[in-house]
């Protein structure tokens, strides 16, 4: 079983909404102020094991003010139902299992592989090369869209977690009361005001 970091990242620190964002969590060992071990772990290019998980969703909406870097594989959603709770696939281009997870409604919620690679980037590339054709095929035969909204890579040796996702839109817009004239029509809307949610 893979040990997971439980760090969360506030949406405000992720940057401009709608862009692909990467966040890495590196466990710190040793004396305070000495980051040499963490830096060596992050830049290690030796061949080692990685677990890569992709969370599916019907839309890219992320609720709440925090984003889980290590998400629960059963927290995703899709329009494709599986019976039995999980499924494993084999691919001719990948020596290992490709596991599909389902949520409480038996809909596919995540896809996961274990692979050997020399870096987080290489493990992520392997995941894309192996998983994308399978999801494309399932999408085609099911006549439904399947989208991965978050990919998390876990370094099994150094316990480094890295996640990639599309930064959510955390702004909310409020319509104030009032009257706006557009051409010959009048609308009871008024001015627009944006507000930020509070972090708990």
Angle subtended at Cα 61 by Cα 57 and Cα 62, rounded to the nearest 5 degrees: 100
CA atoms within 13 A on the CB side of 29: 8
Residue 192: predicted pLDDT: 43
Distance CA 151, CA 77 (A): 14
pLDDT at 199: 40
**54 pLDDT above the threshold of 50:** yes
| Count of Cβ atoms closer than 10 Å to residue 141 Cβ | 9
Worst-scoring range by mean pLDDT, 68-72, 105-109, 111-115, 187-191?
187-191
The pLDDT score that the predictor gives to residue 89 is 75
Using pLDDT thresholds of 50, 70 and 90, give the confidence band for residue 34.
low
Q: What is the pLDDT of residues 77-98, one digit of tens each?
A: 999 988 766 677 777 778 888 8
Alpha-carbon span 109 to 100, nearest angstrom:
8
Q: What is the pLDDT of residues 104-142, one digit of tens each?
A: 888 999 999 999 999 999 999 999 999 999 899 989 998
pTM for the whole structure: 0.73
CA angle 157, 150, 74 (to 5 degrees): 85
**pLDDT value for 155:** 94
């Amino acid at each position: 079983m893979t040990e997971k970091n439980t760090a969360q990242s506030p949406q405000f620190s992720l940057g401009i909404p709608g862009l692909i964002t990467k966040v890495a969590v590196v466990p710190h060992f040793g004396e305070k102020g000495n980051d040499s071990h963490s830096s060596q772990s992050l830049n290690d290019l030796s061949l080692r094991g990685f677990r890569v998980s992709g969370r599916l969703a019907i839309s890219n909406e992320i609720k709440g003010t925090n984003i889980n870097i290590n998400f629960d594989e059963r927290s995703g959603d899709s329009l494709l139902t599986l019976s039995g709770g999980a499924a494993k696939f084999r691919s001719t281009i990948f020596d290992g299992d490709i596991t599909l997870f389902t949520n409480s409604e038996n809909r596919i919620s995540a896809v996961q592989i274990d692979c050997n690679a020399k870096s987080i980037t290489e493990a992520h590339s392997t995941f894309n090369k192996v998983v994308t054709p399978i999801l494309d095929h399932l999408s085609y035969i099911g006549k439904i869209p399947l989208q991965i909204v978050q990919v998390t890579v876990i370094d099994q040796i150094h316990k480094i977690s890295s996640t990639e996702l599309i930064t959510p839109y955390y702004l909310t817009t409020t319509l104030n009361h009032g009257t706006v004239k557009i051409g010959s029509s009048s609308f009871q809307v008024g001015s627009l005001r944006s507000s930020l949610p509070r972090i708990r």
